[in-house]
Chains A and B, each alone.
Chain A
Amino acid sequence: DVKVTQSSRYLVKRTGEKVFLECVQDMDHENMFWYRQDPGLGLRLIYFSYDVKMKEKGDIPEGYSVSREKKERFSLILESASTNQTSMYLCASRQTEDTQYFGPGTRLTVL
């Protein structure tokens, strides 16, 4: 079974803090993705990575950055958290051509 794990299920941070969300997959997948989920908006793509050290902007990259130093790990970074970044964050991975498999999500609250 494909396993995608995220470092925290729930996270509470303060405005202005630097926040790291970690995602790890154990299936040697090449591609990894970060989405945020908001009510009424579905999931929106923030960043994705086709391979190690590669990254591409998704539809809503503003206020975020990413890091992919190892194939199995894809980190989402909020450089200076703001209240409008309160959301559910979902990581996904896939082998090229295959279906995306999702992690359990991290519910981030920024106070």
Chain B
Amino acid sequence: AQKVTQAQTEISVVEKEDVTLDCVYETRDTTYYLFWYKQPPSGELVFLIRRNSFDEQNEISGRYSWNFQKSTSSFNFTITASQVVDSAVYFCALSAANAGGTSYGKLTFGQGTILTVHP
């Protein structure tokens, strides 16, 4: 069985602070995909990143960066110089794949972290 844990239920920061959202996962599959989604107050989940289990390189996209560490089964998300518009619920998710890397498509989500950025 797969499991995704986001231990931080709520985080509150002041604008321009850096913030890291933690994600720890469990899976028996050797091939899998990890995702981060953002859910702003409007409710629609917005895709942020997908990472293959064979690719442990960290990724940076503007103020966003992701740290994937297979040894600790973690896929953490850092927002640098946070802004009020970053306020949202953030979800980490996991999808199993077969040996050829084909994703089965079923996502297992963490509980979500509510991020509030104050002006």
Contact = CB atoms under 8 A, between A and B. Distances in A.
Contacts of A43: 91, 93, 107, 109
6 contacts: A42-B112, A44-B109, A45-B106, A58-B106, A96-B102, A105-B43
| Chain B interface main SS type | strand
Interface of B: 4, 6, 9, 35, 37, 42-47, 50, 91, 93, 102-103, 105-112
B91 A104 contact: no
Interface of A: 9, 31, 33, 35, 40-45, 48, 50, 58, 88, 90, 92, 94, 96-97, 99-105, 107
Nearest to A107: B43
Contact of A100 (B6, B42, B107, B111): B107
B47 A104 contact: no
A100 to B, nearest CB: 6
A104 B42 contact: yes
A99 B109 contact: no
Interface of A, helix, strand, loop or mixed by DSSP: strand
Given A41-B111, A45-B106, A99-B35, A104 B44 contact: yes
A99 B47 contact: yes
Given A33-B107, A99-B47, 16 more contacts: A33-B105, A33-B106, A35-B107, A35-B109, A40-B9, A41-B111, A42-B4, A45-B107, A58-B106, A94-B105, A100-B105, A101-B47, A102-B37, A102-B45, A104-B44, A105-B44
